[in-house]
Structure 1
Amino acid sequence: MAGGYDISRWPITVSPLSDELPVSWLWRVANRYGMTSAATLAALGLPQVNASVPRLETYLRRHADALAAALGTQPFPVDELPSSDGALEVELERYAVDYRIGRLPAATIRFCPQCLAESGVAWLRSWRRRTPAACPIHEVQLLVRCPECGAVPFSRSIWMTAATPPWICPQLAGQQPPSRRRRNRCGYDLRQAPTAPLGVLEADTLDRLHTSAEAAAAHSLEPVDVAGFGVTARDHLDAIFELIDEDSDLTQVLAPIATGRDRLLSSARLAFEVLDQPTAHAAADIADRHGLLDPNGRHTPIVTDASARRRPHNPLLAAVRLRSLEDVLSPTAQLTFRLASSMPRYPEPIPRCPDQVQYWLEQVPLAAIPQVLWPGTLTPWIQDDDIPARAASAMLLAKIGSTRAWSLIALDLGLPAAFATTPSALVTRMRRNGTWQPLLQALEDLATRLADSPPLIDYSARRWAAEPTLIEQAVQSIETDAAPEMLIDREQLAALLWQTYTGGDARYHPDYEIDPPPETRAPSSRRGAALVTGLIERAGAELHRLTGHPDHGPLEWRPP
């Protein structure tokens, strides 16, 4: 108009308050104009919508420009900031996804009656949460339900058809008349709802939960000392959630039920009591006393089958449970759970896309293990001339952090099928003479060294690539006239080439079963040994070319 007035603009502007929910603002606008929320949207030319609060908020944001043009303001502040207590809610959702515990209940809009009376009747975004909370201003517990009818605010879209102030409970109550034109509503003044002060224990528990969540959300890499282990803040928070879930079922106590809040806080206090212990054994004693960390449960099971590994397990709780049982677990379990390390752990969980990884991170890849362990690696427990023990030790190394069966390890290492029982015999011998624990620690140290400095040789690829026909071609391709004073046995040279190239022993190859072993028949003189070494190197270079270069490493390699 000429006077500068916009006739399409509604005359009264109701601005959203600080930290106010968009649905609360819509209700206040409708109440100011004496209409229902549904009628207000219809008058604004927006299609009618009866949906949950999150979907309605998305709907209001989608039409924010139209609402701002008609009402003079958007349904939410332009400089909208997240709630100061939102870290716990965000981390809880992240935990539910990471640990695959299922869908969490929707966040509940709680309220503080005194804040409703003092803040211009605004329902705050900081009130919408899954976990119990307290009003930081009045230090009272936030209420979940109307004390009159027991309904949860905004839990049903019936509030959009109520022409009542936002502080009046709009839920249906009592016996409803046959006619649909009139409905009996609760009508309770939520500003008058009785409140209870927050107890000291509850306040301390909530404060610790929020502090742990904020530390986890900060992605700090500083280790946190918990029960004698150094873990990240996120693993510490996840351990709290896991203990709460094991004690009370997290998906149930987060629902807006009468006893859910008390069960959640009591389970959280119990979780802190377990994790506040100085050692793993002390923490396990507290957990056993309350039926937590069940070895047969789904949170810390002492099993290694595929079904157990499909669910991720918390590394802190796993270390506590495994450390407390280290004296009763079998040698195979001690290898699988890496009990000789500073922090025992489960094998890696099975990824959802196994084809995208070459091997589990917590186990020694078979590509890094020769058929016969390198000489001098496990001295003095395993002698270099004890070839069966060195081969069995290679199988023990492959078992560290792994759920591989002994038969599969023997197959991949190129050992006979009957050799699968040899590691057990070696362990039995070591346990009888009291050297099993030192050997277990030496194997763990070797696995750590291989993880830090991986071999330059792919032993598994070489074992599969070094076919007898290619070995023979490589041996036949080199000239042996350089050593006229020596009689070169090409069969012996082929066996030596296979041993050197694959890190194995010829007695375990069906085509090179020579008695005595070929290394004992090698020339004893220094010059003769040098000549044989040169022949092996030349044949090895040719074999590397014939096999299609399974790796780019040297002919031989030793751990640093």
Structure 2
Amino acid sequence: MRAQPQAGEGLTSWLCAYARLNDVTWRQMLSAVGLHRSRGDMKHIGWAGYLHTHEIDTLAAATAVDADSLHAMTLHRFQPLGITAARRPTHTDYGMLTTPARPTRYCPQCLDENDGRWQLAWLLGWTFACTRHKRLLADTCPRCGRPPMRPAPLTDVVPDLRVCTQSGGRHGRTVCGADLRSKKRGPAASPAALAAQHTINTLSAGDTTAFSLYDQHTANPAHVLADLRALARDVATSYAAPVHRPGKRSIDTRIDRVADAFTTAVQTLSAPDITRAATIIRTTSAPAPALVSARLLRAVDTGSSHPLVAAAELAALDADLPIADVLRYRTCTPHPAIPRRPEATLTTLTRRLPTLLWAPWVTYILGDGHDSPDAQRMLACAVAHVGTTAPTAVIATMLGNTARDSLDVHIALRSLATCPDRSAVGVRIVELADHLAAIPAVIDYHRRRRLDYTDLLADRCSGTPIAFDALRCLAFEHVSGVPRVRAPWYRETPTFARKCHATAASDALQDPALLASIEGHLRRQGVDDEPISAVPALLDCRVHQG
């Protein structure tokens, strides 16, 4: 007697139904259709992944089922969606959150209605609900509590997938036999979970229009499904308790948690923009026990293969991150990102940044009244954090700060995180970093910080010694970008500090004779291709030279 395959049925399910209809064992069934050629065929059932040409020929001849229908009952059908269909189950990627686990989910009501036929889609990790019966799928036997289907049926038993096929005895010659159709109806799926499952089913059919974060001209189902799995995996990991083993993830694989994880992933990637997507992640992850640092590391790890997912996860962490990480990953902007070339970026920024950030940019970033040397030093380090991964102490040292200055910078950066308009300040800092990376270098401050300034303005000696030393200190700061307190002539006295302040207010450095002397000093040091100073313009991105 012939058993016709049902729509969406898997090959193993169909062959088991065929054997049950004819009351033959699994070994006899495989031999009859030409699939039992070696001892491992019954154990590995590699043809469930894909069929060889000779297997299709013998199977079609024995069952009178056409080749296309046979192909449609194997996992090869889902290969365009990113599923890896291999001949060994352990090498097959089923799309689970924990690979290479093989899902054994089922809908009891479907099994009751179709006489124990298993849908092939139930093998996919992103199938967690039955949209027809509006229930979450079951994944355990009601009697033994184990997965209800063995990797392969027992060889000398008539297979019956209406019941649990796990071994019932020590010797594996009997099965558990619990009726899976009589399992208590699974919990009702929430409207959100059903909507997510329907969206995933539509995506599997090739429709990506529900995912507005993607460019519909270039988006493909395999790419979107890979991102959904990555985000759902991170969400499921956040729900689980922390694992104290390096490199190990703890993922809650209960069906309700899997449904919640994929529902969050679908809602996130269906959001109109990254900001809205981040809000969804932040809302659903609020009760999660995972630490912020662990979630940040997870987002960075995910970003290597799934940049869009990482952008949403990083944006969701923005309010909880220290200011250094906010700048590193640009979480204050509409497009967070993992640094791609952090070492090269750091080298570029530290060469183009003075130790003290330009006063006009300090006012632009923080507002009036904040252009103190401490603020200038802190903001220069903040700009150098954008798109880099180096610690604050390393950045401060590369910008010419002392160890004591580095500590002050670290404290100042922490206080920046508490300012009322932190996001706006962060956006302006990132704007300056991007601008510096995009324009040609006008001054190499890395070189300027290492010049010998002993003879600076030595040919312009005039006035009292304290006045002349104050002028040379201002010229040192103006040319090198390093604080005047590091100049060779600086005196640690209140009187000298007041004299420096008064000299700066008098615009003494605008004297053409002084500027000519400074240019001569730079030429003697081998710097003949740069202006004395250059400040990136705030509005039109041109460089004002002086």
TM-score by length of 2: 0.60
324, 343, 350: which one aligns with 1:358? 343
> Secondary structure of 1:157's partner?
coil
Q: Tell me the equivalent position of 1:163.
A: 158
How many positions carry a matched residue from both structures?
Answer: 478
Q: Tell me the equivalent position of 1:528.
A: 513
Q: Tell me the equivalent position of 1:108.
A: 104
Output the amino acid matched with 1:48.
R
CA spacing shift, 1:367–1:389, aligned 2, 3 Å? same
353, 361, 373: which one aligns with 1:377? 361
Q: How many Å separate the matches in 1 of 2:194 and 2:361?
A: 52
CA spacing shift, 1:526–1:424, aligned 2, 3 Å? same
- Give, in angstroms, the shift of residue 208 of structure 1: 3.8
Q: How many Å separate the matches in 1 of 2:119 and 2:414?
A: 66
Note if contact 2:141-2:164 (Cα within 8 Å) is conserved in structure 1: yes
Q: How many Å separate the matches in 2 of 1:502 and 1:145?
A: 71
- Cα deviation digits, residues 287-335 of structure 1 (max 9, x gap): 76xxx245xx33x24999x899768796656656653x6xxx9xxx345
CA spacing shift, 1:265–1:70, aligned 2, 3 Å? closer
245, 250, 255: which one aligns with 1:261? 255
Q: How many Å separate the matches in 1 of 2:414 and 2:132?
A: 66
Q: Tell me the equivalent position of 1:48.
A: 39
13, 19, 27: which one aligns with 2:8? 19
Q: Tell me the equivalent position of 1:445.
A: 428
Q: How many Å separate the matches in 2 of 1:156 and 1:79?
A: 20
- Give, in angstroms, the shift of residue 378 of structure 1: 1.8
Q: Tell me the equivalent position of 1:558.
A: 536
Q: How many Å separate the matches in 2 of 1:453 and 1:213?
A: 46
CA spacing shift, 1:368–1:396, aligned 2, 3 Å? same
Q: Tell me the equivalent position of 1:409.
A: 395
- Give, in angstroms, the shift of residue 413 of structure 1: 0.6
- Give, in angstroms, the shift of residue 371 of structure 1: 1.6
Q: Tell me the equivalent position of 2:149.
A: 154
- Give, in angstroms, the shift of residue 394 of structure 1: 1.9
Note if contact 1:459-1:503 (Cα within 8 Å) is conserved in structure 2: no
CA spacing shift, 1:41–1:253, aligned 2, 3 Å? same
Note if contact 1:274-1:286 (Cα within 8 Å) is conserved in structure 2: no
Note if contact 2:164-2:177 (Cα within 8 Å) is conserved in structure 1: yes
Q: Tell me the equivalent position of 1:57.
A: 48
Q: How many Å separate the matches in 2 of 1:451 and 1:105?
A: 44
- Give, in angstroms, the shift of residue 401 of structure 1: 7.9
Q: How many Å separate the matches in 2 of 1:527 and 1:465?
A: 21
The reply to whether residue 395 of structure 1 matches residue 381 of structure 2 is: yes
- Cα deviation digits, residues 268-304 of structure 1 (max 9, x gap): 899999999x99999989976xxx245xx33x24999
Note if contact 2:237-2:251 (Cα within 8 Å) is conserved in structure 1: no
Q: Tell me the equivalent position of 2:220.
A: none
1:498-517 maps to which residues of 2 (within 5 A)?
A: 503-504=481-482, 508=486
- Cα deviation digits, residues 412-431 of structure 1 (max 9, x gap): 01123332244368689999
Q: How many Å separate the matches in 1 of 2:67 and 2:105?
A: 21
- Give, in angstroms, the shift of residue 108 of structure 1: 1.5
Output the amino acid matched with 2:437.
P
Output the amino acid matched with 1:415.
N
CA spacing shift, 1:448–1:31, aligned 2, 3 Å? same
Note if contact 1:14-1:29 (Cα within 8 Å) is conserved in structure 2: yes
CA spacing shift, 1:165–1:420, aligned 2, 3 Å? closer
Output the amino acid matched with 1:207.
A
CA spacing shift, 1:51–1:62, aligned 2, 3 Å? farther
143, 165, 190: which one aligns with 1:202? 190
Note if contact 1:376-1:383 (Cα within 8 Å) is conserved in structure 2: no
Q: How many Å separate the matches in 2 of 1:93 and 1:497?
A: 68
Q: How many Å separate the matches in 1 of 2:477 and 2:318?
A: 39
CA spacing shift, 1:439–1:205, aligned 2, 3 Å? closer
Identical counterparts, % of pairs: 15
Note if contact 2:353-2:445 (Cα within 8 Å) is conserved in structure 1: no
The reply to whether residue 67 of structure 1 matches residue 97 of structure 2 is: no
239, 244, 262: which one aligns with 1:247? 239
TM-score by length of 1: 0.59
Note if contact 2:95-2:229 (Cα within 8 Å) is conserved in structure 1: no
Q: How many Å separate the matches in 1 of 2:185 and 2:422?
A: 61
Q: Tell me the equivalent position of 2:121.
A: 126
- Give, in angstroms, the shift of residue 172 of structure 1: 3.4
323, 327, 337: which one aligns with 2:326? 337
Note if contact 1:173-1:184 (Cα within 8 Å) is conserved in structure 2: yes
Note if contact 1:235-1:314 (Cα within 8 Å) is conserved in structure 2: no
| Structure 1 unmatched ranges of 5 or more | 1-11, 97-101, 224-231, 255-259, 477-485, 546-551
CA spacing shift, 1:464–1:138, aligned 2, 3 Å? same
Q: How many Å separate the matches in 2 of 1:423 and 1:399?
A: 12
Q: Tell me the equivalent position of 2:90.
A: none
| Structure 2 unmatched ranges of 5 or more | 85-92, 216-223, 242-248, 304-308, 462-468, 542-546
Q: How many Å separate the matches in 1 of 2:50 and 2:230?
A: 34
- Cα deviation digits, residues 438-462 of structure 1 (max 9, x gap): 6985464132243256353569975
- Give, in angstroms, the shift of residue 207 of structure 1: 2.5
CA spacing shift, 1:88–1:212, aligned 2, 3 Å? farther
- Cα deviation digits, residues 222-245 of structure 1 (max 9, x gap): 79xxxxxxxx99999977765544
Q: How many Å separate the matches in 2 of 1:453 and 1:280?
A: 28
- Give, in angstroms, the shift of residue 409 of structure 1: 2.7
Note if contact 2:352-2:436 (Cα within 8 Å) is conserved in structure 1: no
Q: How many Å separate the matches in 2 of 1:397 and 1:409?
A: 10
- Give, in angstroms, the shift of residue 160 of structure 1: 4.0
- Cα deviation digits, residues 370-422 of structure 1 (max 9, x gap): 222123212354677x5565334323444568775443233101123332244
Q: How many Å separate the matches in 2 of 1:171 and 1:525?
A: 89
> Secondary structure of 2:437's partner?
coil
Output the amino acid matched with 1:110.
Y
1:134-153 maps to which residues of 2 (within 5 A)?
A: 134-139=129-134, 142-147=137-142, 152-153=147-148
1:295-314 maps to which residues of 2 (within 5 A)?
A: 297-298=290-291, 300-301=292-293
- Give, in angstroms, the shift of residue 157 of structure 1: 2.4
Output the amino acid matched with 1:205.
A
Q: How many Å separate the matches in 2 of 1:265 and 1:157?
A: 27
